[in-house]
Structure 1
Amino acid sequence: MARFSGKVALITGSSNGIGRAAAILFAQQGAKVTITGRNAERLKETRHEIKKSGIPAENILAIVADVITDEGQMRLINDTVRKFGHLDILVNNAGGALMDAQGRVGMDQDISVFDNTMQINMRSVVTLVQKAKEHLIKSKGEIINVSAMAAGHHGDPIATFYGMSKAALDQFTRSSAISLIQHGVRVNSVSPGFTKTGFGEAMGFPPIAMKKVISFYESHKECAPSGAIAQPGDIAQVILFLADRTMSSYIIGQSIIADGGSSLVMGMHAHDMLDILKA
């Protein structure tokens, strides 16, 4: 029997990157999946990639929705339960680092950037968990939040608000884990390091610029001791581990750092990414 046979997983931000990789793996290992994002074309690509694995169409529910809205969240929960009958796994992957309209960084960014960053990276997670809670309690389910290496103890003068939002998410993971384990629901998170996704492009950087940054990091051991930047599938495997109660049953309220050793040396922050792009 497949690892997640009979399980239903809802993965936010699954139109690309880590979310897409997780959705494909969950489906390949027996789960019925709800995939969602704001970009209809990219969501179709995720659905196509899942079906290429031989997964029947009836095991996939694709919903174009904005996860920061009440209406979008209610549609995700209600349509998932309506189609599949229950919800076992919630992966809060949607998120991002937002840029200032004037190109400012760190503490110089407009406060609207802080508000919008907290809304997508923190508030949307809290409200979606609130809506999904009753269904996850019924199934004794799992919640996996996707945090970031940026939530760690080091400072980040460039993406200050992003790091703040992810640190808040880690605290939410710990606190909600204590609350929900009383009902049989586990909450954990993964904190990826730099990963080869569309993250940079979503911030407004062209693909060639992000390739330049990745090449720099991979060639500098103080940035990536492993000598490699993660692929989305590397992080997705950790998500599946945390969703598998057979494999990780006694892990509660923890954030697993998956960064190739970057946070052990934090050399990335010795280099200004904007300077790398200009070089």
Structure 2
Amino acid sequence: MKKLENKVAVITGGNSGIGLATAVLFAQQGAKVAITGRNQATLKSAAETIGQGAIGIVSDVSDLNSITAVFEEISAKLGKIDVLVVNAGVSSAAPLADFTEEQFDNISDINFKGVFFTVQRALPYLNDGASIVLTSSAMNEVGYGTYAAYSATKAAVRSLARSFSQELLERQIRVNVLSPGAIDTPFLGRNGGSKEEIEGVKGYIASTIPLKRLGTSEEIAEGFLYLASDASKYMVGSELVLDGGVKTL
């Protein structure tokens, strides 16, 4: 039996990288999948890659009206939601002395405020017993220079899962967190740099990981499947860390 047979699953930021790999796996496991993102072209391509009748809807999680409209549309097309993966996020790095208010507001609006209100606005459209998975980061407990704001937003996401879980227990809605380490996705190249520079950064990061390699989107997708399915039904307000051993070895 497929682990998400006939479940309705929504993945924000599902048009590339980890989100797309997770959407593909969920569809293979029987879910009716909806993905959101800010780029219509990549959403269309991603929905075709996912197949199985997946739908892609343009949405900006920093726009609260956009969030509400998305859940209304998904509910009308697919029914009430059983799995919500709150995965949309951005990264921005700069020395503390140079970090701008614009950078701070952008990363906070998407990574923290966007997560908070995505869950809030989803509540009327969730089935009782639903599973919510928030994407944090292994950096939520580790200090890296130039990544202070990013790490802080991911620590905030980890905290939200605990508080949300307490509030939603009456509806048997589970909220958990998946915290990836360094994963080989397009995300690593979004701060600019040539192909050679990006590969150099990847090589350096890999050298700092006990397993001596970056993780793959497919490996992280398996973690999302575990948290989305009944396999983790006794897991509430907790965190699954998939980082190649960085935080423990």
TM-score of the superposed pair, with normalisation by structure 1: 0.85
Q: 1:169 aligns with which of 133, 157, 160?
A: 157
Which segments of structure 1 move beyond 6 Å, counting only runs of 4 or more?
none
Q: 1:149 aligns with which of 110, 121, 138?
A: 138
Give the drift of 1:203.
2.3
Give the drift of 1:207.
3.9
Report the counterpart of residue 73 of structure 2 in structure 1: 79
Report the counterpart of residue 21 of structure 1 in structure 2: 21
Report the counterpart of residue 4 of structure 2 in structure 1: 4
5+ residue gaps, structure 2:
none
Matched residues in 2 for 1:172 and 1:98: separation? Answer: 21
Report the counterpart of residue 169 of structure 2 in structure 1: 181
1:91 and 2:80 aligned: no
Give the drift of 1:89.
0.8
Matched residues in 1 for 2:146 and 2:211: separation? Answer: 24
Matched residues in 2 for 1:179 and 1:133: separation? Answer: 11
Report the counterpart of residue 263 of structure 1 in structure 2: 247
Q: 2:103 aligns with which of 103, 110, 113?
A: 113
5+ residue gaps, structure 1:
266-279
Report the counterpart of residue 129 of structure 1 in structure 2: 119
1:44 and 2:44 aligned: yes
Would you say the 8 A contact 1:107–1:160 is kept in 2?
no
Q: CA RMSD in A?
A: 1.5
Would you say the 8 A contact 2:13–2:87 is kept in 1?
yes
What SS class does the counterpart of residue 119 from structure 2 fall into?
Answer: helix
Give the drift of 1:19.
0.4
User: What number of residue pairs does the alignment pair up?
Assistant: 249
Matched residues in 2 for 1:15 and 1:106: separation? Answer: 31
Give the drift of 1:127.
0.7
Matched residues in 1 for 2:196 and 2:70: separation? Answer: 34
Deviation per residue, 1:23-43 (Å, 9 max, x gap): 000011000011111122221
CA 1:106–1:235: 2 relative to 1, 3 Å = farther
Give the drift of 1:50.
1.3
Matched residues in 2 for 1:88 and 1:253: separation? Answer: 17
After superposition, where does 1:129-278 map in structure 2 within 5 Å?
129-136=119-126, 138-152=127-141, 154-218=142-206, 220=207, 223-245=208-230, 247-265=231-249
Which segment is superposed worse, 200-209 or 25-34? 200-209
Give the drift of 1:107.
4.8
What SS class does the counterpart of residue 226 from structure 2 fall into?
Answer: helix
Q: Which structure has more strand as a fraction of its residues? A: 2
Would you say the 8 A contact 1:177–1:252 is kept in 2?
yes
Matched residues in 1 for 2:29 and 2:193: separation? Answer: 34
Matched residues in 2 for 1:197 and 1:4: separation? Answer: 25
Deviation per residue, 1:180-203 (Å, 9 max, x gap): 122110000111001111112222
Matched residues in 2 for 1:97 and 1:89: separation? Answer: 25
Percent identity of the aligned residues?
A: 34
